[in-house]
């Protein structure tokens, strides 16, 4: 779990450059409370500032780590109700540019959940027939034009499998799936224009025009919600009891496929 430190504890000399505010990858991981591999993923994705020394060693500014810690603390406070949730930006484009993290709800275990996403090896990976088949079947069961296997990274929502949409990702700040991964139950929005959480969302007000969303959390072996199976329509609607049951079964099948990986 990421903890906030205004004054980080002293680090052994092997974890930082003596006399400077520069950390090694291992030192940053220790402060953030995550695996070294997770820090490397964040660095590679441009989510954590770094540079490489002439000798080929990665170095990370302590200030960048502190900024990430503060952002995680603010997101946790928002989720706990201590701070108001900031609305997603309202834009006319169907896929708005990336927004900084903090404008969406997260669980108190977000750091561990993000590590589970990276550890799965599925984020930013190529399409796989097994997931593609389950997503197509979900669209048929729900009778919706769009269905997705989404994965929520630090600031991006990646589509591991998809039908009915051309994009491969969206900013996480506009992802309906942020709410789905907060719990174990399906998250359903019958008409997004009537929901205060989404009526100003760019995916609702813009060209895409989402109206209906139903998301089902997908879990890894450790029980972390690393993504969702979701179905989307562009008109308000409801699912029948039979459709909801069938989608729950497909989500279980997809979770089992993830756990076998």
Please tell me the predicted confidence (pLDDT) of residue 129.
Answer: 96
Residues 59 and 176 in one domain: no
77 pLDDT exceeds 70?
no
pLDDT digits (tens, 9 = 90+) for 93-152: 233 333 344 468 888 888 889 999 999 999 999 999 999 999 999 999 999 999 999 999
Domain holding 75, by residue range, is 13-80
Q: List the CATH number of the domain containing 215.
A: 3.30.450.40
How many domains is the chain partitioned into structurally?
2
Distance CA 135, CA 250 (A): 9
**Better pLDDT: 28 or 213:** 213
Residue 224 lies in a domain: yes
Average pLDDT value for residue range 72-82:
49
**Better pLDDT: 71 or 19:** 71
Residues 147 and 31 in one domain: no
- Greatest CA separation found in the chain? 64
Residues 68 and 119 in one domain: no
Residues 170 and 213 in one domain: yes
Distance CA 218, CA 226 (A): 6
| Most confident of the ranges 44-48, 82-86, 196-200, 215-219 | 215-219
**168-214-173-254 Cα dihedral, nearest 10 degrees:** -50
Residue 109: burial class (beta carbons within 10 Å; 0-12, 13-18, 19+): middle
Residues 52 and 165 in one domain: no
DSSP class per residue in 152-180:
E-SSEEEEEEEES---SEEEGGG-THHHH
Average pLDDT value for residue range 15-29:
66
Q: Which of 223, 137, 156 is nearest to 147 (CA)?
A: 137
């Amino acid at each position: 779990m990421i903890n906030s430190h205004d004054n980080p504890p002293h680090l052994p000399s092997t974890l930082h450059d003596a006399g400077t505010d520069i950390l090694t990858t291992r030192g940053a991981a220790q402060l953030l409370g995550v695996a070294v591999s997770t820090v490397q993923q964040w660095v590679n994705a441009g989510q954590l500032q770094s540079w490489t020394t002439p000798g080929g060693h990665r170095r990370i500014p302590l200030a960048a780590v502190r900024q990430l810690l503060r952002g995680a603390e603010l997101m946790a406070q928002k989720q706990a109700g201590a701070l108001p949730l900031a609305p997603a930006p309202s834009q006319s484009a169907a896929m708005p540019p990336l927004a900084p993290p903090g404008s969406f709800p997260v669980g108190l275990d977000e750091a561990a959940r993000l590590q589970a996403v990276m550890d799965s090896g599925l984020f930013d990976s190529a399409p796989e027939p097994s997931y593609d088949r389950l997503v197509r079947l979900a669209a048929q069961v729900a009778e919706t034009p769009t269905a997705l296997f989404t994965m929520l990274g630090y600031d991006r929502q990646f589509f591991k499998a998809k039908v009915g949409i051309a994009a491969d990702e969206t900013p996480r700040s506009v992802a309906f799936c942020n709410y789905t991964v907060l719990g174990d139950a399906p998250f359903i929005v019958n008409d997004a224009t009537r929901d205060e959480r989404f009526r100003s969302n760019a995916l609702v007000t813009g060209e895409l025009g989402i109206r209906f969303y139903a998301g089902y959390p997908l879990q890894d072996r450790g029980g972390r919600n690393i993504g969702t199976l979701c179905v989307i329509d562009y008109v308000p609607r409801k699912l029948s009891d039979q459709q909801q049951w069938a989608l729950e079964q497909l989500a279980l099948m997809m979770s089992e496929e993830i756990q076998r990986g």
